[in-house]
Amino acid sequence: MMIATLAALLIQDLGVDHEFLYRADRDLKSVAVAGTFNNWDKKANLMARGADGRTWTFKRRLQPGKHQYKFVLDDENWVTDPKAQKQEDDGNGNINSILILFPSEYLKTPGKKGDGVVTPSAIRHLQSAPDLNFDRGELTLAITVRPEDVAKLEVVTPNRRIPLTRTAGDEILETWRAKVPWNRRDGLKYRFELGDGPKTWVLGANGVREKEAEWFALDPKTFKPFEVPKWVEKTVFYQIFPDRFDNGSAANDPKDVQKWGDEPTYWNRYGGDIAGVERRMGHLVDLGVNAVYFNPVMKAPAYHRYDPVDFYEIDPEFGTNAEFKKLTAGLEKVGIRTVLDQIFDHVGVTFPPFVDVLKNQQKSKYLDYFFIKSFPVAVKQNPPYEAWWGAESMPKVNLAQPELKKYLLDSVNFWHDNATLAGWRLDVANEVPDWFWREFRQRVKGIDPNTWIVGEVWYNAAPWLKGDMWDASMNYPFRDAVLRFVAEGKTTSTQFLNQLMTVYSWTVPQVSRNQLNLISSHDTPRFITLAGNNRKLAAMGAVVQFTWVGAPSVYYGEEIGMEGGADPQNRRGMRWDMVNPNNGLLNLYRRLTHLRTNASVLQSGDPGIVLADDANRVAVFSRTLGNEVAVTALNRSDRAQDVKFAVKDGTGKPVTEMLDGITGNLLRARDGVFSIRLEPLTSFVALKRTPETTTLIKGLARLPQVKEFVNP
């Protein structure tokens, strides 16, 4: 099984004391350890130099699970640990060291069902998300236990007993869930009973007891469910990197504008602008997307605009405030919402208060806007101020400074007044203090509760997804699962499906349904490139992305098969010559967006594992909602496979007829079992035959046929 990072699965002090050790081959001024356990902060955990001058150590208590890390030498040189348990590519071309920690208690006593022994410290239930949740009129309770440690689990109320079902797990913890009837008018009492061998344990408000435990109490007057914007789970996003989408107007071109299609570098500009987006709006409509996530559009010196200098002005090379207002209104008229990317962690060096610091040094009235380490302040390598990842062009800002905080939060109101906005994407959101995000949420939701807030974090984002900060995160852990199985072929079917279910279980279902599911972005090599430029694997990745839980996000050009390695190759100018009726991948994306935006089961259905055939590299999962069901099957092998499966709808009724979601063909089960033949590296999507899906599939007739990625 895959081992998940357990940042959100904190249990009763299963922490493990671990000592990091680095032996240098030369004299160093400093060594730090940075990783997923400290938000990759190279300042957080500085190591101590030993008496020999070459041995560096640092002790820290970590949660059990899988952690990625590196050593940082002299504040700038990031290296892997030569003595690490293993190394792993993070999916973005970076090799990180891997540390896997088991609780010390696990090493003392093996977990074994039926032996009459359990591990109490692994048993956990918190009366907050994701252990307690109310969604779509149903209360769900969850408990975590040690794998293979407990034979029977039930949630007990004063008048009923309900068995729990295992929904996710790894080598450290298993999660079990049950739906419990509750009218939200009366108070509810409950506790958990765990049976193993001849013994029974009870988990209640006062912990684990062998016989009795206090009831957990749920008060409807104080309980507030976590609600997220409902439109997101019905949405397909399209990510536009403004400078590289289309140059529609020469009037606002930068002086050093490059010819479209020139080899990209870290600095060159192609002149993509608002006029270009307007000119290509028809492509977005034809593709069927219904929201655009724009990378930064505010005034900034760099082409990527992640170094903002004015939070109230559209970059002149992109257009004007008035033009942006017109663009967002025009997008809304054709059914496309707008999500803006914004940076609250740092600014550019031409940000006026920072310019004042450079000019007036110690006398500047803006010193407390930044984190100045020494004088004189100058823009140079190893800057004398805190900067994002040490980049001198991006000084970090002090959000606790009252005037600066007001300036930033007021900009939110400004853009809601001067554009048609549906959401905010928050850059490097894990590096911003939680208290700021709580204030940010209050500000945004006070303007419009349906505004979506999505934060950038590359690992388990559950700590920010409890209802007081963000609505969703960029789901890079989902991408990792798809990348490992589909693009790279490094994991088994079981590992792949378990990883998907584990990531899904990190948050409550309504959050999982509105996660931003991506397989490529401006910060990663393109998925098709990581798949060896294999279009069938690119198609398979898209099928998973559009049929799994969460809102798909298509990185510009992904729908046509654009290739590109790490930055800057992944930020090439859009290949408009590839947008044509003969592009089979584009035709597939159009069909997938048609399915995703019209099939309620693919928008809101609960996930389930149907089949994990490791020997034949076949994986099958389902989505269920009421009397609906959708099934996705993947053949990751290099030979044809006959795949057989039985499936039930959301009411538990066996399904006998399904419609192929790509071709529209009718499929019938024999003796309750469906049998399909999957050619090598192909996918399959089918929906239960209902009046809704019959109408939906008929809509495929207006779309170009897909010849490249389906079975004959």
Rounded CA gap, 639 and 636, in Å? 9
Q: Cα separations (Å) of 75 from 31, 45, 46, 50?
A: 7, 12, 10, 18
- Phi/psi at 424 (nearest 5 deg)? -130, 130
Rounded CA gap, 702 and 476, in Å? 34
One of 427, 613, 628, 649 is an active-site residue; which one?
427
Rounded CA gap, 674 and 679, in Å? 16
Tokens (6 digits) for 505: 């279980």
Count of all residues that appear for the chain in the document: 712
In terms of Cα–Cα distance, which of 655, 637, 539 is closest to 590? 539
332 is catalytic: no
Q: Strand pairing of 472-473 and 452-455?
A: parallel
For residues 116 and 198, is the Cβ–Cβ distance under 8 A?
Answer: yes
First to last CA, the chain: 35
Rounded CA gap, 70 and 50, in Å? 19
For residues 463 and 597, is the Cβ–Cβ distance under 8 A?
Answer: no
DSSP 46: B
Q: Which amino acid would we find at residue 417?
A: D
Q: Is the dihedral of CA 82, 87, 90, 94 positive or negative?
A: positive
- Phi/psi at 645 (nearest 5 deg)? -160, 155
In terms of Cα–Cα distance, which of 89, 96, 83 is closest to 57? 83
Rounded CA gap, 482 and 476, in Å? 10
Q: Taking each helix axis from N to C terminus, what angle separates 584-598 and 691-698, rounded to the nearest 10 degrees? A: 150
One of 246, 456, 471, 559 is an active-site residue; which one?
456
- Tell me whether residue 154 is exposed, middle or buried, using C-beta atoms within 10 angstroms of its C-beta: 0 to 12, 13 to 18, 19 or more: middle
For residues 511 and 503, is the Cβ–Cβ distance under 8 A?
Answer: no
- For residue 708, the surrounding DSSP H or E stretch is none
CA-derived radius of gyration, the chain: 26
How many other β-carbons are positioned within 10 Å of the β-carbon of residue 668? 10
DSSP 346: B
3-state secondary structure of 575: coil
b/e burial code for range 111-145 (CB count within 10 A of at least 16 → b): beeeeeebbbebbbbeeebbbbbbbeeebbbbbbb
Rounded CA gap, 514 and 232, in Å? 5
Strand partners, 453: 424
How many other β-carbons are positioned within 10 Å of the β-carbon of residue 358? 14
75 is catalytic: no
Strand partners, 16: 62
3-state secondary structure of 698: helix
The residues annotated as belonging to the active site are 427, 456
